[in-house]
Amino acid sequence: MRRYGFIGLGIMGKPMCKNLLKKTGGPVVVYDLNDAPVQELVALGATRADSSKAVAAESDVILTMLPNSPDVKAAVLGPGGVLEGARPGATLVDMSSIAPLAAQEIAARASQSGVEMLDAPVSGGEPKAIAGTLAFMVGGKEPVFEQVKDVLATMGASVTLVGAIGSGNLTKLANQIIVALNIAAVSEALVLAVKAGVDPEKVYQAIRGGLAGSTVLDAKAPLMMQGNFKPGFRIALHIKDLQNALDTAHDLGVPVPLCSQIMEIMQALRTDGKAGDDHGGIVQFYERLAGVQVRT
């Protein structure tokens, strides 16, 4: 029986780990800097570890779900990290959203220790993490992917190998540009409707079945109209992803002017103290400029 390790039990990681624990039936060792989610997972049958190294020492497949590139590097490459405890032949699956070059660097270091790595960021936010219906975008070697595809399927409805190591995170950057710009478009449209005196709920219902309909529209428009910006995916994290997208695009010589514009909108919201809001809170930027609120 394969043994699993899970490092990072935040908004996304905790429900993902719950699905892994429930659906694999295998032993799961967990670690997080915050003890509360660790206690919650232990109560469901997981085993506590006191470091990333300790998780790796007890695992055949090590899964990480952390905020950004420096966090993953610290957990994997740093003192007390995964590579200090992992045995040759283990597989590391980093599900964090990080810079593609960082994923390649970590994979190269892991390979020197006999550890294979996949970068496998996800899309879907907290609701799909809870439901176990995330979309995985995976980079790495196909034989390694095939060995752990079933593990990822315990947490996601879609698991796709898109290319070599780093490709998963490049795909995630593309995803995050599209999501951010979709949210901005929904925000502009609903604020325009309200300013013109039209019911935003009726506008939403009228357009959702047409070409403007989208997963983003259905996920975010109702929350905007409720004024509910409880974080499923925080603006601060989307800023991180867009910065990685901008850096990668600039390194490749690719112009991304719309990405730059939505980045500045998010930076304005962060300055306004809203970095902890859900990224659907982008609508607040438009509301403030137009002097109206999208509320039903």
Catalytic machinery residues: 172
Residue with tokens 């959203």: 97
Nearest to 262 by CA among 172, 168, 171, 188: 188
Neighbours of 146 (CB within 10 A): 10
3-state secondary structure string, the chain?
CCCEEEECCCCCHHHHHHHHHHHHCCCEEEECCCHHHHHHHHHCCCEECCCHHHHHHCCCEEEECCCCHHHHHHHHHCCCCHHHHCCCCCEEEECCCCCHHHHHHHHHHHHHCCCEEEECCEECHHHHHHHCCEEEEEECCHHHHHHHHHHHHCCEEEEEEEECCCHHHHHHHHHHHHHHHHHHHHHHHHHHHHHCCCCHHHHHHHHCCCCCCCHHHHHHHHHHHHCCCCCCCEHHHHHHHHHHHHHHHHHHCCCCHHHHHHHHHHHHHHHCCCCCCEHHHHHHHHHHHHCCCCCC
